[in-house]
C-alpha cells in the first residue's frame, strides 16, 4: 500500500511537500500541488491513520464494553452514544463480552493498549477486581447502568430505588396486598438490589404486608415464566408482582395465563424498561419507561468532557423514568 514516500518519489518532490498537500496547508505552489495530487490519484494513496495517530499521540478512539448488544438497554444505548461520538469525530471500538464478566477487565486493559481516549462500560455488576481495573485505566471510564460513584467512578444510572418505590405504590393503589418481587442475580445492585429495596420501602411506608417473596433468575422471558410458575405454587395468595425487567414480566404473564389467571385482574404485574415487547404482549404490560438511548448519549457526552480535560463536575447522573400504564396494573 502506497505511502507518502511513494507519492513523493512519483511526483518528484519531498515527503514534506506531499504532507502539506494532503493536509491542505498553504504555502505550496499551485503547480506542485497539482503534480502531487496527480501522483496521489495514480498510486491510490490512502493516509495511514495509524502512523498519524502515533505521531500525534491521539487516536480519536473510544471503547465501548457491553455484556451483549442484543438487549433493549444496550442496543438503544449504543445507538445513542454512537450518534454523539460520531458528531464529535470519535470512533467506537466495541467489545461484546457475551456475559463473561472477566472479559470486561481484559477489554479495559486491551483498550488502554490501543490508546483509546475513554471507555464506556455497561456493567451488570461491580466488584473489587473491576473497580481496581477501572482505577488502573489511563483512559477515563464511565459506567452505565450500575452505580460506581462510591468508588469515584462517574456513572450514568437509572433511578432504580425510586422505580421500586413507585412500583410498590402503583401495586398498592391497584389494591394489591400480597406483593412479591422477581429479580435477577443479587450481585446486580441496580436491577436486583435497588429495585427490590425501593419496593420494600414503599410497603413499609404504607404499612402494608411485608414483601411476600424475592426470587432470583435470569434476564429472560423463559426465566420469568419458570419462576412465576414455581412461585404460584408456593404463594397462591399472591396478588401483585413487581418484575425486575419487562422480559421477566412477560414470562410471568404467560405463567399466569397457563394457570388460568389473567394478569391485571386477579394478579397485577409490573415490569421495568418499556421494552417494545411490553406494548405488544397480551395483556399489555404496565411498566416504567427507561430512556436507554438518553443514557447512552449522556454517557458519551460526559466522557467527551473528561477526554477534553474538563474537570469532572458530577459523580453520577441519575436518569428519571415515566410510568407507563397498560393492562396488567
Partner DNA sequence: TTGAAAGCGTTACCAA
Partner DNA sequence: TTGGTAACGCTTTCAA
Stretch near a copy of itself under the rule CB under 8 A, chosen from 82-90, 170-178, 179-187, 300-308: 82-90
Rounded-to-integer distance, Cα 140 and Cα 64, Å = 12
Question: Which partner in a copy of itself, DNA, none is near 92 (CB below 5 to 8 A by kind)?
Answer: a copy of itself
Residue that has been written with the C-alpha cell 496521489 in this structure: 40
User: How many of the chain's residues bind a copy of itself (CB under 8 A)?
Assistant: 46
At residue 289, the 3 state secondary structure works out as strand
User: What is the x/- site pattern for a copy of itself, positions 129-158, by CB under 8 A?
Assistant: -------x-x--------------------
Which of 38, 41, 42, 56 touches DNA (CB under 7 A)?
Answer: 56
H-type alpha helices, 137-238: 160-173, 195-205, 221-234
Asked whether position 315 contacts DNA by CB under 7 A, the answer is no
Helix (H) or strand (E) holding 11: helix 4-11
Edge-to-edge strands of the sheet including 179-183? 214-216, 179-183, 240-243, 268-270
Which of 24, 55, 233, 311 touches DNA (CB under 7 A)?
Answer: 55
Find the binding residues for a copy of itself in span 243-272 (CB under 8 A): 250
Stretch near a copy of itself under the rule CB under 8 A, chosen from 83-91, 164-172, 237-245, 317-325: 83-91
Question: Which partner in a copy of itself, DNA, none is near 27 (CB below 5 to 8 A by kind)?
Answer: DNA
Q: What angle do CA 81, 287, 302 make, to 5 degrees?
A: 20
Find the binding residues for DNA in span 206-235 (CB under 7 A): none
Asked whether position 43 contacts a copy of itself by CB under 8 A, the answer is no
Asked whether position 323 contacts DNA by CB under 7 A, the answer is no
Spatial neighbors of 281 by CB under 8 A, at least 6 apart, are 250, 253
Dihedral sign, Cα of residue 147, residue 149, residue 153, residue 155: positive
Which of 93, 105, 174, 185 touches a copy of itself (CB under 8 A)?
Answer: 93
Please give the DSSP secondary-structure letter assigned to residue 2.
Answer: -
Q: Is 235 left (phi over 0), alpha (psi -120 to 50) or beta?
A: beta
Closest to DNA by CB, 11 vs 267, is 11
Angle between helix 4-11 and helix 30-43 axes, rounded to 10 deg: 120
Say if CB 131 and CB 153 are below 8 A apart.
Answer: yes
Closest to a copy of itself by CB, 135 vs 315, is 135
Min dist. Cβ of residue 208 to a copy of itself (A): 31
Which of 33, 35, 115, 301 touches a copy of itself (CB under 8 A)?
Answer: 115
Q: Given the DSSP bridges, would you call strands 141-144 and 155-158 parallel, antiparallel or unpaired?
A: parallel
Rounded-to-integer distance, Cα 231 and Cα 224, Å = 10
Binding residues for DNA (CB under 7 A): 1, 3-5, 12-17, 19-20, 22-23, 26-29, 31-32, 45, 47-48, 51-52, 54-57
Binding residues for a copy of itself (CB under 8 A): 1, 44, 46-51, 53-54, 59, 64, 68-72, 75-76, 78-79, 82-83, 86, 91-96, 98, 109-110, 112-115, 136, 138, 221, 250, 276-277, 280-282
Amino acid at each position: 500500500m502506497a505511502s507518502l514516500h511513494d507519492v513523493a518519489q512519483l511526483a518528484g518532490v519531498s515527503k514534506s511537500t506531499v504532507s502539506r498537500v494532503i493536509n491542505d496547508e498553504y504555502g505550496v505552489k499551485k503547480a506542485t500541488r497539482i503534480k502531487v495530487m496527480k501522483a496521489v490519484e495514480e498510486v491510490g494513496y490512502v493516509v495511514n491513520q495509524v502512523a498519524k495517530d502515533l505521531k500525534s499521540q491521539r487516536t480519536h478512539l473510544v471503547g465501548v464494553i457491553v455484556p451483549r448488544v442484543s438487549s433493549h438497554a444496550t442496543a438503544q444505548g449504543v445507538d445513542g452514544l454512537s450518534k454523539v461520538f460520531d458528531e464529535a469525530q470519535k470512533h467506537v471500538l466495541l467489545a461484546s463480552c457475551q456475559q463473561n464478566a472477566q472479559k470486561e477487565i481484559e477489554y479495559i486493559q486491551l483498550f488502554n493498549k490501543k490508546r483509546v481516549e475513554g471507555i464506556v462500560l455497561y456493567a451488570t455488576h461491580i466488584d473489587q477486581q473491576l473497580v481496581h481495573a477501572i482505577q488502573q485505566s489511563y483512559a477515563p471510564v464511565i459506567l452505565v447502568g450500575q452505580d460506581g460513584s462510591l468508588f469515584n467512578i462517574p456513572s450514568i444510572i437509572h433511578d432504580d430505588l425510586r422505580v421500586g418505590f413507585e412500583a410498590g405504590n402503583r401495586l398498592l393503589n391497584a389494591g394489591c396486598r400480597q406483593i412479591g418481587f422477581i429479580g435477577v442475580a443479587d450481585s446486580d445492585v441496580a436491577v436486583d438490589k435497588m429495585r427490590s429495596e425501593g419496593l420494600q420501602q414503599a410497603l413499609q411506608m404504607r404499612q402494608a404486608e411485608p414483601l411476600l417473596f424475592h426470587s432470583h433468575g435470569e434476564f429472560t422471558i423463559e426465566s420469568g415464566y419458570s419462576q412465576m410458575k414455581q412461585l404460584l405454587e408456593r404463594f397462591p395468595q399472591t396478588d401483585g408482582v413487581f418484575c425486575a425487567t419487562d422480559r421477566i414480566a412477560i414470562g410471568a404473564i404467560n405463567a399466569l395465563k397457563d394457570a388460568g389467571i389473567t394478569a391485571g385482574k386477579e394478579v397485577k404485574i409490573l415490569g421495568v424498561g418499556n421494552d417494545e415487547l411490553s406494548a405488544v404482549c397480551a395483556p399489555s404490560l404496565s411498566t416504567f419507561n427507561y430512556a436507554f438511548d438518553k443514557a447512552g448519549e449522556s454517557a458519551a457526552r460526559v466522557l467527551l468532557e473528561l477526554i477534553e480535560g474538563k474537570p469532572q463536575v458530577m459523580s453520577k447522573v441519575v436518569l428519571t423514568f415515566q410510568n407507563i400504564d397498560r393492562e396488567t396494573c
